[in-house]
Amino acid sequence: MMNRNQYEIVVVGAGQGGGPLAGAAARGGRRTALIERVHVGGTCVNEGCSPTKTMVASARVAHLVRRAADYGVHATAPRIDLARVHERKQQIVDSFRDGSERSLIQAGVDVIRGRARFVGPRTLDVDVGDGARRTITADTIVINTGLRAAIPSIPGLDTARYLTSTSIMELVDVPAHLVVLGGGYIGLEFAQMFRRFGSRVTVLQRGAQLLDHEDTDVADAVATILRDEGIEVLLGTTVTAVEQRAAETLVRYSTTSVEGATPGTVSGTHLLVASGRRPNTDDLGLDAAGIVVDDRGYIRVDDRLATNVPGVFVIGDAKGGPAFTHISYDDFRILRANLLEGGSWTTGGRQVPYTVFIDPELGRIGMTEKEARTAGLTVRVGTLPMSSVARALETDETRGFMKAIVDAGTQRILGAAVLGIAGGEIATIVQVAMLGGLPYTALRDGIFSHPTVAEALNNLFTAMDRAV
């Protein structure tokens, strides 16, 4: 008789890599289980990509209504029904989540609800609720437990009311004044969203610029866009204390400048902590399995996503590196190839595109100018303001600019940033050229439909001819 607790493949965590891998394994005839303690679909479906971009879309509609007169259309000021925004968001989430779970069950995956902990190298103890437990063993275990909001150690924060990127999406009333700790892509998306919903918004960023990975000119342009929409952006600030005062939360900070440190305070009705993420690995019992983690709790893997323990792999954010859904999905493809199809895929050399879904979008691929020059490469850098793009002028979406970095010797494109209308889509076109190893002249001389934003690539890369 088959042991109901013995599997060929067990996936811990039903994120955007784990779910597809479990489904593929089951369809391939492997006895497969997926253990999930909360929701199928992981962060992307439940608390990340899908719900936030649904709410971003609602905020953009409010923004366009306020701008209607710019287009010769007269409309009354928008009235924000945040409860309806929340309802629409939840409908999308529920639809995607339910569809993912149905797909797994139809594939033959044993979906187990519970909290899993290692009690040996390939043995898991699963708390399935109501005092019941299961001991599950597998030939192969794949960890896909993702990240959660990291709460910084700030005096007073533990006794104050604060929101995370998950709980802020459950609001049904628009905050009067939202204070955001953190100027990364999560903080900025929510800052602009709630400003457009009608909140006063203040962003406190520890670094000297927003989006600290980006080139300074890109980060400065993003800050200008946000400030133009009425968002207060404070750079170089270190939060020193938080104090809950009845209905308001007081944030004390220190701003560093060439003159020294200057203390300041800001008081908001709501506080969003968006200053980082941490891996969901601290309650997995990794020590019992002998699985090695780094000093931040990320699980160490090789370029085939294998841990130091034979038969145990990691996909998605728990291993560190770029925390993007599309990277998690590529991790799935690597393990599908290697575990199910006898392949030998690795993470080596893969591209990491991403889009920051502020409005206008910031699409990114490849190296920044700063990274290229730090690497000692001889580069050409070309830029093109969106105000020089016909389609942007016609739609009155002229904020931002395009930027590309090219290797001066090989003429190959090293990277690009597109801050503007359809920024993520245009950056993807550049990425496709990079995937094909094309010289920049292919985009300079290509014929693109008029009038589209994409045709501006002709002018961007023509500028490269005279760039230094």
Question: Would you please indicate which residues are annotated as catalytic (active-site) residues?
Answer: 450
Return the half-sphere exposure (C-beta side, CA atoms, 13 A cut-off) of residue 323. Answer: 23
> Are 346 and 303 in contact, with CB atoms under 8 Å apart?
yes
Beta bridge partners of 275: none
* C-alpha to C-alpha distance for 286 and 306, rounded to whole angstroms: 14
For 4, 40, 126, the CA distances from 130, given in Å and listed in that order, are 20, 21, 12
Token pair, residue 72, equals 């010769």
Q: What are phi and psi of 258, to 5 degrees?
A: -65, -25
Token pair, residue 394, equals 């016609």
Q: Please list, in sequence order, all residues whose beta carbon lies within 8 angstroms of the beta carbon of residue 409, skipping any fewer than 6 positions away.
A: 378
> Are 153 and 137 in contact, with CB atoms under 8 Å apart?
no
Pairing of strands 379-385, 361-366: unpaired
Token pair, residue 447, equals 């014929």
What is the sign of the dihedral through the CA atoms of 149, 153, 154 and 156?
positive
Q: Please list, in sequence order, all residues whose beta carbon lies within 8 angstroms of the beta carbon of residue 27, skipping any fewer than 6 positions away.
A: 107, 108
> Are 379 and 411 in contact, with CB atoms under 8 Å apart?
no
